[in-house]
Amino acid sequence: MGKKLYIAGIVIYLMMILTACNLNTKAKNSDQQQIFKFKSSIEQYANGKISYEDSFKFSEGLVDDVIRDFMVKLKALQSSKEHYTKGTKAYEAGRAIESYKLLKQVIQEDVENYASAIRTMKAIEDHYLDTANQMAKGHFYDEASTLLGALVDVSVNSQLIETKTAIDNKNKEMVLYTGDVRHIFFHSLIAFTELAFDGDYMEEGYNYWMTTVDEFKKMLDEMYKRDFMLVDIHLLYDIEVVDGKRTLKKKDIYLPKGKKPLILSLDDLNYYDYMENDGFADRLVLHNGEVATDTKLPDGKHLIARDHDCVPILDVFVEEHPDFSYRGAKGIIGVTGYEGILGYRTDDASSPTYQQDIADVKGIVKRLKETGWHFASHSYGHINVEKQSLKRVKKDSNQWDEEVGSLVGDTNLYIYPYGAAVQGHDEKFTELQKYGFDIFFGVCAYTSLRFDSGAMLMDRCNLDGYRMSKAPYQLVDLFEVEDVYDTRRPPFH
């Protein structure tokens, strides 16, 4: 009996062990299945098919040690996807560097997002390279280097570093320019020669003092080919205070090797009444945010264009040839006031369009200043300062200040009408300086830059029919007259 019981005990014990084993095996099998499901759910999550939570659910109840590696992978994917979402948002908001930093943390296992992250990073790199190269062409070396530097700090793309180094080296290659500075000037361009040269009493004046659109474009091409480069007038001097007085002093000018500085100015950008219907533009306007001209055609229709006068033509030329301008410099716009400015009759407060005209002019002035143009006084009434009385000069300057200065802002540039310059101890010269002018422009074929009584004086060469016909030899450094001369001009007398 005792023996039987003993055997039964063993049997029961064995059965218990077997059952336990069986249970254990069953448990192990179901764990394996869950682990497999968890693993494949991670793949689905990597491919963006399910959410993090849906994948995480499969890990519940599993022993941490067993699924440690899978959990690491799941967390890495979660972090990658978060970086991708934030990086994409930053990119759309225009925060490129922040976006690049975030997208760089998207991992290859994140199948859903990796390719897209790489594409966006490449787009950021390309945009930075293009922008920096374009800036460097316009000689914005420091700005281009800083721009690329920000991306170089967060990127391993060697092309970025190479481009930045090349730009830094170019910046070091700037050389002192020791020659004369050429200063050229124009009036409004003749856009339609058949209207300007129509045999009326104005024809001769236009033939003498104006330049045609074709000539201006060819001149730009020639000067560009000859390594001229537009520079800002304010690069030519330093300001010092001598005996308590603001005093302009000559400043060394550094340019890319081989380049020659060129200053350009425009006289009488007023679009006077007398020019109406004579083949000139009628006014400047803003068109798609850029400065263009509005021309009233003989049939009464209006033509908006960017190739009918100096301002838009030069703007377009510099857009296409950024290396023609040192740091975006364009030129100086000289305006009188007696018939308003830029083609708007801002002199007549009783005009029904007065308020609108003022608002329009302010918008155009703002855009011109943003795009490298400066304004100069050309006196209010186009007066001959040399011949007029001190009293008249005073009155004229006041009027310019009130009606024109209020629109174009403060300026220290003064273009003498008729080139009739006063200087030195002339009381009219002292008077003009009281209005804040201390850079004065006269007319002469060759530019002589002088510093006198605290001011800077510079002559300018008119590139018009008169100069081209009478003294082509004075222009040979700029272009050959026969290459640019408009054969539609009437003969010279």
Q: Which residues bind Zn ion (CB under 5 A)?
A: 267-268, 417
| C-beta of 274 vs 451, nearer to Zn ion | 274
| C-beta of 145 vs 377, nearer to Zn ion | 377
Smallest distance, Å, CB 415 to Zn ion?
Answer: 7
| C-beta of 381 vs 472, nearer to Zn ion | 381
Smallest distance, Å, CB 99 to Zn ion?
Answer: 52
Q: Which pair of structure tokens corresponds to residue 192?
A: 């339609």
Smallest distance, Å, CB 187 to Zn ion?
Answer: 7
Contact 253, 170 (CB under 8 A): no
CA dihedral 291, 296, 299, 301 (to 10 degrees): 40
Amino acid code (one letter) for 458: M
Contact 369, 381 (CB under 8 A): no
Smallest distance, Å, CB 239 to Zn ion?
Answer: 28
Q: What is the 3-state secondary structure of the chain?
A: CHHHHHHHHHHHHHHHHHHHHHHHHHHHHHHHHHHHHHHHHHHHHHCCCCCHHHHHHHHCCCCHHHHHHHHHHHHHHHHHHHHHHHHHHHHHCCCHHHHHHHHCCCCCCCCCCHHHHHHHHHHHHHHHHHHHHHHHHCCCHHHHHHHHHHHHCCCCCHHHHHHHHHHHHHHHCCEEECCCCEEEEECCCECCHHHHCCCCCCHHHHHHHCCEHHHHHHHHHHHHHCCEEECCHHHCEEEEEECCEEEEEECCEEECCCCEEEEEEECCCCCCHHHCCCCCCCEEEEECCEEEEEEECCCCCEEEECCCCHHHHHHHHHHHCHHHEHHHCCEEEEECCECEECCECCCCCCCCCHHHHHHHHHHHHHHHHHCCEEEEECCCCCCCCCCCCHHHHHHHHHHHHHHHHHHHCCCCEEECHHHCCCCCCCHHHHHHHHCCCCEEEEECCCCCEEEECCEEEEEEEECCHHHHHHCHHHHCCCCCHHHHCCCCCCCCC
| C-beta of 70 vs 185, nearer to Zn ion | 185
Smallest distance, Å, CB 379 to Zn ion?
Answer: 8
Smallest distance, Å, CB 191 to Zn ion?
Answer: 19
Contact 142, 330 (CB under 8 A): no
| C-beta of 228 vs 416, nearer to Zn ion | 416
Smallest distance, Å, CB 265 to Zn ion?
Answer: 11
| C-beta of 322 vs 417, nearer to Zn ion | 417
Smallest distance, Å, CB 210 to Zn ion?
Answer: 12
Smallest distance, Å, CB 228 to Zn ion?
Answer: 24
| C-beta of 110 vs 309, nearer to Zn ion | 309
Smallest distance, Å, CB 336 to Zn ion?
Answer: 7
Smallest distance, Å, CB 340 to Zn ion?
Answer: 15
| C-beta of 344 vs 441, nearer to Zn ion | 441
| C-beta of 117 vs 421, nearer to Zn ion | 421
| C-beta of 56 vs 272, nearer to Zn ion | 272
| C-beta of 110 vs 267, nearer to Zn ion | 267
